Amino acid sequence: MPTETGTPSAGTAGSPRDFREPRRLHPASVVLGVPLAQAVQALIFPFVATLAAPRWFTLFVLFSVALVGGVVRFFDWRMRTFSFDGEVLRVDHGVLSRNHRSLDVSRIQQVEIQRGAIQRVFGLAAIRVETAGSASEPEVDLRVLPEADAVALRSAVRVSQARLTGRAPGAAPSDDDPTAAAEQEVLRVPMRHVILASVTGARLLVLPAVIGGALQFIGNQIGPFVDEAIEQMVELGLAGETPTLVGPDWRLIAVGVALGLVLSVAAAVVVGVLRDGNFHIRQVDEDLHVSRGLLSTRDSVVPLRRIQKVEIKRNWARRVLGYATVRIRSAGGSTGGEGRVTVPLLPNDEVDRLLGCLLPNVDGVPDLHAHPPAALRRAFFRWLRPAVLLIAAAHLLPEVIAFLDTDLVATAQPYTFLLLPINAVLAVIEYRQLAHGATPLVVAARSGALSISTDISPVVKVQALTSRRSFFQRRLGLTTLVAHVAGPGALVTVLDAGRDDAARLHTRLTEHAASPIPVVPEREDGQPGADGERDGVGVISQPATTG
Amino acid sequence: MTIHAGDEIPRPGLDDRERELAPAVVTSWRLSAALGWILPAVVALMLGFVLGDGWGWLVLAVLAALVVFSVVFYPPMRYRRWRWQLTELAIELRYGVLVRTQETVPYFRIQQIDITAGPVDRLLELASLQVTSASASGSATLPGIAAEDAPRVRAELLARAATAVAEHPGDLRDAV
């Protein structure tokens, strides 16, 4: 083992705000540092493998696995140190092969503090640091730290970042007191909105499963009744008098269905409230602090200048009720859907205000322009093509393939034609929602039929552009324009815009991407900056940089 | 104008005219198309034997037509459609026979430039050059330029990227 320079102090010892000396995580990380899923995985295999053996043997094997795991974790804790000297965050770990990681503070995109339910009891937290990149794991994941240390480390990173960018943090916080910063609450989602979000959200996807269960329940109720009916029909002869039947107990069925619905909705609400309860966003200097969760909490910091894209999503239920969800993407956020910051529910009239807080100098969703009528033909084509293929398959395949030629397929065949009107309506809806807009500050695109999404990116974040024109699009004079921004899967797609519009937008966004100088539209004369002439109309604002 | 492998006089810098790929890339595309058809051809032959006289011949005829089209006719069409250009602000690619694509990666956003050459490419003295931005999807690839030109194109792109970055003060240099 290599000799360390100086003995690393234990996580609990030493000044809580001085991270210059390498220090260890909290000793509890030996146990709490293991993700629950990993621990379960490690124990379930020996458990299953020794199921046939006597019980004492199973216990012995499980105990050995836990012991070995504990020893490995202990050495991992002993050998894992981190330090932060104001510029570079260093993490050294590894027992046999040492791994040294240095992370420059200017590369940090997002810092997140997470407290699990157990960790909260002991006053502990995990801190994860994200950089730009599409890795599947956060760049640095320090679990578990005393909560005060995690918060202090995050403040230290923030202060360094502020110093580096030359933006003096608002209330001139010094290193001694990083908490004295300009702080302002941007948004707080009330509990009724969190509940409404879980009732109208994707978590209700469990509903089909519940309905399936309910149907089985109904089947069990009706089954004997059908059997009886068939029996009677056979006995009486089909041409005979009307069979006398005793109906199933409909009351029982109704109660079962109602119970299933209530249970699934309740489950969705409980999960949603635990996850998103107490959701609030604060702005501290130039950073957004997003906190959520009742039992286990998650607290993300996204620097405002790192926001790449804001998505405003409305599924049909939320559209009817007048609400939206807002998703904020930074270039980090490697941990899949969880890494993004999603506002669970927001009334429509608050969307513009939130957008103004997220994207500086933007006062809401820009005016969106509809796409030419030719795009409706493409929408029909997109929606009707799969429908026609399915109908053709349903009608032709049974002719060719013998075993598909069953009564079931025959009864289903006429119903496939229902897809045509349904998909046609969806195509019309999609066309009516298709729109895009651009101001000197942002580019925005709206699309979707059932769930409608409006994507907004600052023009200074556009990295590259792609325009595509298929054969049919060329005939209809349409172009699909994609603006790429940093971050996994982050695109703003303008589907089927008019050819000239798209060409102009391509050129203009190229200029912005080539020279990302933030533009503040002039407001004195009530004339916001016009599209396309950012140099003529917009006032170029550059933060005063010293050296 | 094309950068031919034979142009031995090194230009001081690459100007902003439209360029084509190296003509040898057509051969490379033909080879890779032919290689790609081997597996479908085996499947189609087997299917032809199974289906017998009528349908079997049809399958084989369709296969032959597809192979001839994708190996003989399609690569030259694709080549004729390919243009790339170093404009004032960005590297621009225009290509595509059925789907016409225009890709633009501004110099300022260039994060990484890769030059790769597979065995076939090396035989034909070709290289492909990939320009990557901070966005995972926003990259531009020149699939076949003369191998000896590739370092010069890269140097030019790097120089232009450095200039673009140097034009901006401190915290605006961060492209993410």
pLDDT tens-digit readout, A30-89: 888 887 778 888 888 888 888 788 888 888 888 898 899 889 999 999 999 999 988 888
For residue A502, what is the nearest residue in chain B, using CA coordinates?
A: B102
Give the Cα-Cα-Cα angle A131, A135, A136 (nearest 5 degrees): 120
The candidate with the shortest Cα–Cα distance to A95, out of A71, A75, A81, is: A75
Mapping DSSP to helix (H, G, I), strand (E, B) and coil, where does residue B125 land? coil
Strand A99-104 vs strand A108-115: parallel, antiparallel, or unpaired?
Answer: unpaired
User: Is B168 a residue whose pLDDT tops 70?
Assistant: yes
Interface with chain A: mutation pick from B111, B137, B141, highest number of A CBs within 10 Å: B137
Its pTM stands at 0.76
**B173 in contact with A at a CB cutoff of 8 Å?**
no
Residue reference for tokens 């580019």: A443
pLDDT averaged over chain A?
Answer: 79
Range with the poorest average pLDDT among A100-104, A166-170, A444-448, B60-64: A166-170
Give the pLDDT score at A171.
40
Q: How confident is the model at residue A360 (pLDDT cuts 50, 70, 90)?
A: confident
Distance from CA of A448 to the nearest CA of B (A): 21
Strand A539-540 vs strand A287-292: parallel, antiparallel, or unpaired?
Answer: unpaired
- A338: DSSP letter: G
Q: Which long-range contacts (CB under 8 A, 24 or more apart) does A40-49 make?
A: A42/A69
Q: What residues have CB less than 8 Å from A23, skipping those under 6 apart?
A: A8, A9, A10, A11, A14, A81, A82, A83
Q: Say yes or no for a CB contact (<8 Å) between A514 and B108.
A: yes
Task: Give Rg (Cα) of chain B.
Answer: 21
State what percent of residues in chain A have pLDDT above 90.
27
Q: Say yes or no for a CB contact (<8 Å) between A484 and B137.
A: yes
Distance from CA of A56 to the nearest CA of B (A): 53
Q: Say yes or no for a CB contact (<8 Å) between B103 and A464.
A: yes
* Angstrom distance (rounded) from CA A183 to CA A170: 9
* Angstrom distance (rounded) from CA A318 to CA A16: 46
Interface with chain A: mutation pick from B87, B103, B135, B174, highest number of A CBs within 10 Å: B135
User: Is B170 a residue whose pLDDT tops 60?
Assistant: yes
Give the Cα-Cα-Cα angle A433, A438, A439 (nearest 5 degrees): 140
Identity of the residue in B98, B107, B140 whose CB atom sits nearest the CB atom of A470: B98
Give the pLDDT score at A259.
84
Q: Where are the domains of chain B?
A: 31-77, 84-168
Q: Say yes or no for a CB contact (<8 Å) between A482 and B164.
A: no
Which chain A residues contact residue B100 at CB under 8 A? 468-470, 474
Which chain B residues contact residue A517 at CB under 8 A? 168, 172
Give the pLDDT score at A347.
94
Which chain A residues contact residue B136 at CB under 8 A? 134, 487-489
Q: Exposed/middle/buried for A224, CB within 10 Å: 0-12, 13-18, 19+? A: exposed
Distance from CA of A272 to the nearest CA of B (A): 32
Pick A487 or B43 by higher pLDDT. Answer: B43
Mapping DSSP to helix (H, G, I), strand (E, B) and coil, where does residue A150 land? helix
* Angstrom distance (rounded) from CA A538 to CA A535: 6
Strand A478-485 vs strand A491-498: parallel, antiparallel, or unpaired?
Answer: antiparallel
- Contact between residue A358 and residue A410 where contact means Cβ atoms under 8 Å apart: no
Range with the poorest average pLDDT among A149-163, A203-217, A351-365, A485-499: A203-217
Q: How confident is the model at residue A173 (pLDDT cuts 50, 70, 90)?
A: very low
- Stretch A381-409: mean pLDDT: 83
Q: How confident is the model at residue A241 (pLDDT cuts 50, 70, 90)?
A: low
pLDDT in tens, A516-543: 776 655 544 444 433 333 333 333 333 3
* Angstrom distance (rounded) from CA A388 to CA A94: 58
